[in-house]
Amino acid sequence: MNHPDVLVNVLGCLYGVLLVSTMFLRTRLTEAMRIDALFIPQFSEKTRPLNLLVGLMVAGYGAYSLFTR
């Protein structure tokens, strides 16, 4: 694996962790990174768990890509 691939996968893992944290933390940074706010016109507290699911998938894929091979 070359260095740009590692960097992209590490950043993907960090973004996934940030998305998971939006479920539990309410700061200016986490509110700005919410996935549901980007794609759902009337986002609310009911749509917040979407960030947890997407964050787990993004972080999991990044970790998987880092540790394979």
Number of domains in the chain: 1
pTM of the model: 0.86
Label residues 38-56 b or e (16+ Cβ within 10 Å = b): eeeeebeeeebebbbebbe
pLDDT tens string 23-37: 999 999 999 999 999
pLDDT tens string 48-66: 999 999 999 999 999 999 9
Per-residue confidence band for 11, with pLDDT thresholds at 50, 70 and 90: very high
Burial class of residue 17 (count of CB atoms within 10 Å of its CB; 0-12, 13-18, 19+): middle
Arithmetic mean of pLDDT, 39-49? 93
Per-residue confidence band for 15, with pLDDT thresholds at 50, 70 and 90: very high
- Is the pLDDT at 1 greater than 70? The verdict is no
Query: What is the C-alpha separation between 25 and 29, in angstroms, rounded?
Result: 10
